[in-house]
Amino acid sequence: MTPLARAEFPAFERLASRICGSSNFRVAWQMFQCDGPCKATPRTARQILETACLVPELHLFLAPEVRDQWPSRLHLHEHCTIEPAAGSFENILARAVSDRLGAYSHSLAEATCDEMGGVRDVFNGLGSYVPFELVPGGVPGCATCQEHNSHLFSEWFYAVAWDWCHCIIWEARKLALLWCMSDTD
């Protein structure tokens, strides 16, 4: 996987800025060109996340200012899962843009069809895409699964408790986007 320059994707930068400006959100994202097959499946999305964990240059987008404070090889919790997120992904981002998501929003209403369509249009700008979401593990007896945010990559998140982590795949273009978002204190 090769990280691509953010300047090549101004629509994503504008969307991230709108989300950060709506409330108290933090957004980190990175687009990657996939070297091999890039099927839009949960397995591929997990491989992309695991590769980003293992290769230091691929996870620096989360917090480049503290990169020397963390181990170079990080790990995804074994029990977390990757699930298709079509519809819910667009709803989450549309709600964040309109300040209706997270602990600091005054209203927690769902996004409208038009609002979700606006988010969909941004991602469709590169062609047909498939979003996936990282979700917590639920293995009884696993101490990590019992913790809040147990689905997160632990050190990979550089001590930020990211509330949402998505991997979006454009199979035809062999592109993958990691999109992490959290409301902050």
Q: Which residue has the higher pLDDT, 160 or 124?
A: 124
Please tell me the predicted confidence (pLDDT) of residue 164. 84
Please tell me the predicted confidence (pLDDT) of residue 146. 75
pLDDT digits (tens, 9 = 90+) for 24-57: 778 889 999 999 889 999 999 999 988 887 787 8
Q: What are 49's two structure tokens?
A: 């996340």
Residue in this structure with the two tokens 């997120």, named with its chain if needed: 85
CATH topology of domain 2-183: Protein Transport Mog1p; Chain A (3.40.1000)
- The pLDDT of 143-157, averaged and rounded, is 58
By mean pLDDT, which of 5-14, 18-27, 114-123 is the weakest?
A: 18-27
Please tell me the predicted confidence (pLDDT) of residue 154. 40
Please tell me the predicted confidence (pLDDT) of residue 158. 44
Three-state SS at 3: strand
Say if residues 105 and 150 touch (Cβ distance below 8 Å): no
Rounded-to-integer distance, Cα 94 and Cα 111, Å: 6
Ordered by start, the domain boundaries in the chain are 2-183
**CB-hemisphere CA count at 13 Å for 138?**
4
- The pLDDT of 144-172, averaged and rounded, is 69
